[in-house]
């Protein structure tokens, strides 16, 4: 149990990449390093700008390709906020079920695990004649700091 339990760090991500058969290259390492530094959701462009100041020059295309790759490996989550639909956050866990809670004021994103949406399935099934198999949920609110 480390200080920030269950949050992926750059080494773990790089290892996952390698395990999945992808090559560990300098641009990919720079991208992974950068995205573990974000505390809130970031866009491809945020990442691009952040990287423009870093060691290796990373091309636009590489950023998009790497983001897609990380999402497909479950290492990165795509956020579907009300306004911007294309932002990303580091995945919280690859094994446990969780969702995101987003602060309306500062934009910080935290995961939460207490989700009993599946309890809704029977009622919804009955109401709609659907066989429900999945859900997408995001909560909004105010974080502790912003309330203060």
Find which of a second copy, DNA, none residue 43 binds, CB within 5 to 8 Å per kind.
DNA
Q: Of 145, 49, 46, give the one whose Cα is nearest residue 104.
A: 145
Residue 53 sits in the site that holds DNA (CB under 7 A): no
Find which of a second copy, DNA, none residue 134 binds, CB within 5 to 8 Å per kind.
a second copy
Per-residue binding letters, 88-117, with DNA (x by CB under 7 A): ------------------------------
Residue 57: CB minimum distance to a second copy, A: 30
Q: Of 60, 65, 14, give the one whose Cα is nearest residue 36.
A: 14
Closer by beta carbon to a second copy, 5 or else 119: 119
Q: Which stretch binds DNA (CB under 7 A): 41-49, 95-103, 107-115, 139-147?
A: 41-49
Measured distance CA(96)–CA(98) in Å, rounded:
6
Task: Tell me the two tokens of residue 64.
Answer: 């998009």
Q: Could you tell me which residues come within 8 angstroms of residue 107 by beta carbon, excluding any fewer than 6 positions away?
A: 40, 41
Q: Of 56, 76, 54, 55, give the one whose Cα is nearest residue 65.
A: 76
Residues of this chain that interact with DNA (CB under 7 A) are: 18, 22-28, 43-45, 56-62, 64-66, 68, 86
């Amino acid at each position: 149990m480390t200080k920030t339990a269950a949050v992926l760090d750059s080494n773990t991500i790089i290892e996952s990449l390698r395990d999945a058969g992808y090559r560990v290259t300098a641009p990919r390492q720079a991208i992974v390093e950068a995205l573990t530094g974000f505390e809130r959701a970031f866009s491809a462009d945020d990442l691009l700008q952040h990287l423009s100041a870093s060691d290796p020059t990373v091309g636009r295309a590489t950023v998009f390709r790497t983001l897609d790759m990380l999402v497909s490996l479950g290492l990165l989550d795509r956020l579907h906020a009300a306004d911007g639909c294309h932002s990303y956050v580091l995945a919280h866990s690859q094994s446990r079920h969780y969702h995101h809670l987003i602060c309306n004021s500062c934009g910080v994103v935290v995961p939460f695990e207490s989700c009993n949406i599946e309890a809704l399935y029977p009622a919804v099934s009955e109401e709609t004649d659907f066989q429900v198999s999945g859900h997408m949920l995001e909560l909004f609110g105010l974080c502790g700091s912003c309330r203060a």
